[in-house]
A and B are shown apart, each in its own frame.
Chain A
Amino acid sequence: MIAVELKITVDTATPALQALGAALEPQNVLPVFGRSVTNTVRDHFDELEADRPNKLGGARTHYYSGARAGTKFVVDGEMVTVGISQVGIRFRYFGGTIRAGQNPSSVGGKPTKYLTIPATAESYGHRAADFPDMVVLWGKSGPFALARQEKKTIAIADSYGTKTLSTEILFWLRETVEGAPDKTMLPDDSEIRDSVTRDFNRYVKTVWRTRNIPRGE
């Protein structure tokens, strides 16, 4: 009699390998990279939100919280780009020069001649047009500040002169503003690299374990 042996082998490797192959397709793995970096940057902005209140005091504008919410990634082909939609974040990170005249005035609509730099907690987070009762203060070289018309508060123009005035300055007027680069605006490269590496390894491990085949579009 011929013995018949039927061997049944449970193939566990193939499904896992198939899942892994699919998981490494750009449309599946790039979002992991993107979210990993996005989360790292968002956490960083959370720390800045807690650690850096307005220098002038007053109501917070929650600038860094806004930057956090505006941090998103976009997958385009085989590339993922993380962007931060927040006005001024680029200037703060790279530094540089901001010149008046780039945008229309909030008052007249014409190109601005001066930048308005908040001088008090009250003016922080506001535009000059929010204060209808202001007058222009003139110095030897032209206008230098916007102040309340009838306030008697004494203001000392410390960093832009040494005048003592019998009015309340709300905005300094500057034709340009120089900003030093602040690389602490973003997590450093090694932190981002570490998070991506960690999350990629976790991703592969998870796909392998769960046999889950992500089906991103």
Chain B
Amino acid sequence: MIFPHPVTLKEAMETRAARAILPTDMSAKMLSSLPREVRERAIFSAGVQNVDFLERAKEAIDKMVEGVTDRATQRTALRALADRFDMSALQSDSRLNLILDTQVKMANGFGNFIEGQHPSILLMWPAQELYRAEERKEPRDWPARWEEAGGEFFPDDFGNCVNWTTQSKNDLIICLDDKELWSPRVSWLLSNAYLQGVEWDDNALQIDLSSEVSKLQRSRNFSLLGVAEQLPSLSERYGRQAKGNDHRTSRWIEGVLSGELSLGNDRGTEHQPSHEPFAYLERKDASALSLGNRERNNIALHPRASSRWLVSRKGSDSACRTETTLSNADYAAGRMIALKTDPIWTDISAFDLPYAPFDYNSGMDLRDIDRDEAVDLGLIDEDDTQNPEELSFNHGLQAAVGISGKFGLGFALGQFLGDLASVNGEGIVKFLGQ
């Protein structure tokens, strides 16, 4: 299938409907090594060679994508089928859920990706954010994966913040003790997340921070530990270097905290090194850190007038909940945002695809970042535009892909690809790109 021009969602979904089944006994890891174009067009599941089962699974997935049936119904039907075929590996709820969820999310993710590549939409929403859409008991460390792929972190919803977790159970919060540095959004955060019940109106823009610190100190959740002219470095504080020393984020944290770096942004607006005193606020009730998905525990080292600042996540929501997880987080990350055309989306994907889901049962999804915010974050200049990513089925298929005959995949791929490929006697599939 060739998409010589940006395609509509309808076209994309129709293409999706034309997917073929691909019986294989390859493992999930082996499957991930297949070319993207094959994985996008094939319905398969690791180790599943039964064509009838895959046909039925495809029907189930199509119906679920259409919204005419639910997972429980289809899972029950598939399990009955697995029973009949004596496929013991497919009789567990978790395995069947994984198959159905992954494929449905793939279809939705693909549709969203194609939709997002429309020129008008790309113009309006040029970037996207990876975020936790569904909670998990043991979430993967997505910020680490993001960082490893070279991703940049951005301030969270509540303002330009830096925060991190400590190795102790309590949460250390560090704030610049200068009222001019405090944005109204940070004040809002303070009032709402930590001083619940205290409301601020627009007049709160002119708050006197020292009085707010006193309020915080008086509140039952905080104690003022002290005020220092300069913060200790991360290495001094934690006895070792922060993760990713070569990454800008950690360098900034280190530099800012040591006073060696200017507070500033990437766009040339430099500020003087921070000599302002810091207020140390420690949260006493660490157990109260079990915050909901939308109540990230953020607070606040706010550089003045910086439009691009780093940042951090206060651990994932669940990372706040246990001492063990906290001790693994040298510092927290921030929002994971990049242009839609950035290769990082493929880089973070276990499936090597530029759209969600990026891993099995990850709970992560994407949401649009509009142009104004993307400009504010420095991702794009005001006058910049992006070219939609063209999807060409043949584009990535010029290379021959060696696939061992023991996987029984060569013939299946040949059937699946039709005229687009030839299979030689050794099970090597040669893709005939145009």
Partners in one complex: yes
Nearest B residue to A28, CB-CB: B120
Q: Which of A70-78, A91-99, A168-176 contacts B (4 or more CB under 8 A)?
A: A70-78
Interface size counted on chain B using CB atoms at 8 A: 52
B288, CB-defined interface residue at 8 Å: no
Q: Mark A67-109, 1 if CB is under 8 A from B, else 0.
A: 0111011110000000111111100000000000000001000
B178, CB-defined interface residue at 8 Å: no
Q: Do B76 and A106 touch across chains, with their CB atoms under 8 A apart?
A: yes
A148, CB-defined interface residue at 8 Å: no
Among A28, A32, A50, A75, point to the contact of B292 (Cβ < 8 A). A50
Residues on A with C-beta less than 8 A from B41 are: none
A35, CB-defined interface residue at 8 Å: yes
CB-CB under 8 A for A65 and B134, given A209-B383, A214-B119, A215-B119: yes
Interface size counted on chain A using CB atoms at 8 A: 49
B391, CB-defined interface residue at 8 Å: no
B372, CB-defined interface residue at 8 Å: yes
Distance, CA A203 to CA B371, complexed state (A): 9
Q: Do B8 and A217 touch across chains, with their CB atoms under 8 A apart?
A: yes
Q: Do A216 and B72 touch across chains, with their CB atoms under 8 A apart?
A: no
Residues on A with C-beta less than 8 A from B5 are: 215, 217
Q: Do B134 and A62 touch across chains, with their CB atoms under 8 A apart?
A: yes
Distance, CA A50 to CA B75, complexed state (A): 25
Q: Do B72 and A126 touch across chains, with their CB atoms under 8 A apart?
A: yes
Q: Do B121 and A32 touch across chains, with their CB atoms under 8 A apart?
A: yes
Q: Do B71 and A214 touch across chains, with their CB atoms under 8 A apart?
A: no
Residues of B within 8 A of A (CB): 5-10, 65-73, 75-77, 79-80, 93, 104-105, 108-109, 111-112, 115-116, 118-121, 123-125, 133-135, 292-294, 365, 367-368, 370-372, 382-385
Question: Please, could you name 20 A-B residue pairs with CB atoms under 8 Å apart, sorted by A?
Answer: A28-B120, A39-B368, A49-B134, A60-B134, A61-B72, A62-B134, A70-B65, A70-B67, A75-B10, A85-B67, A86-B67, A125-B72, A130-B93, A207-B123, A210-B385, A212-B123, A214-B119, A215-B119, A217-B5, A217-B8
Residues of A within 8 A of B (CB): 23, 28-29, 31-32, 35, 39, 42-43, 46-47, 49-50, 60-62, 65, 68-70, 72-75, 83-89, 106, 125-127, 129-130, 199, 202-203, 206-207, 209-210, 212, 214-217
4 pairs of A and B residues whose beta carbons are closest in the complex: A85-B67, A214-B119, A50-B293, A69-B108
